Amino acid sequence: MRLRETDTVIFSSSVIPGNENSVQRLMDTMYRKGATVINYKMMDVHAGGHAKQEDIKLMLALFKPKYYVPIEGNHFLLRENAKVAYSMGWDEEHVFVVDNGQVMEFWKDGGELTKEKVPSDYIFVDGLGVGDVSQVVLRDRKVLAEDGMVIAIVQIEKRTGKLVGNPDIISRGFIFMKEHRDLIDQTRNEIKKVLVDHNPKSEADPKAIREKIREEVGTFLFKKIERRPMILPVIIEV
Asked if the structure places residue 156 within a domain, the reply is: yes
pLDDT of 155 reads 92
Asked if the structure places residue 215 within a domain, the reply is: yes
Is 156 in contact with 237 (CB distance < 8 Å)? Answer: yes
Kindly state whether residues 169 and 198 are assigned to the same domain. yes
208-215, long-range: CB < 8 A, 24+ apart:
209/154, 209/156, 209/161, 209/233, 209/235, 210/235, 213/152, 213/154
Kindly state whether residues 8 and 84 are assigned to the same domain. no
Asked if the structure places residue 138 within a domain, the reply is: no
User: For the residues 54-66, what does the mean pLDDT come to?
Assistant: 95
Kindly state whether residues 178 and 108 are assigned to the same domain. no
Kindly state whether residues 166 and 215 are assigned to the same domain. yes
* Top-confidence range, 14-23, 87-96, 158-167: 87-96
pLDDT of 200 reads 61
Is 51 in contact with 68 (CB distance < 8 Å)? Answer: no
pLDDT of 41 reads 84
How many independent structural domains does the chain possess?
A: 3
Asked if the structure places residue 26 within a domain, the reply is: yes
For residue 197, pLDDT beyond 60: no
Percentage of the residues of the chain whose pLDDT score is greater than 90: 56
User: For the residues 119-137, what does the mean pLDDT come to?
Assistant: 84
Indicate the pLDDT class of residue 21, thresholds 50, 70 and 90: very high
Kindly state whether residues 34 and 60 are assigned to the same domain. no
User: 202's torsion region: left (phi>0), alpha (psi -120 to 50) or beta?
Assistant: beta
Kindly state whether residues 153 and 232 are assigned to the same domain. yes
Kindly state whether residues 152 and 233 are assigned to the same domain. yes
Is 13 in contact with 41 (CB distance < 8 Å)? Answer: no
For residue 126, pLDDT beyond 90: no
For residue 205, pLDDT beyond 90: no
Indicate the pLDDT class of residue 198, thresholds 50, 70 and 90: low
Kindly state whether residues 165 and 222 are assigned to the same domain. yes
Kindly state whether residues 164 and 100 are assigned to the same domain. no
Range of the domain at 62: 53-117
Q: For residue 58, how many C-alpha atoms fall within 13 Å in the half-sphere facing its CB?
A: 5
Kindly state whether residues 231 and 159 are assigned to the same domain. yes
Asked if the structure places residue 137 within a domain, the reply is: no
For residue 47, pLDDT beyond 80: no
Least confident stretch, 14-18, 66-70, 143-147, 157-161: 157-161
Kindly state whether residues 158 and 227 are assigned to the same domain. yes
Indicate the pLDDT class of residue 232, thresholds 50, 70 and 90: very high
Mean residue pLDDT across the chain: 89
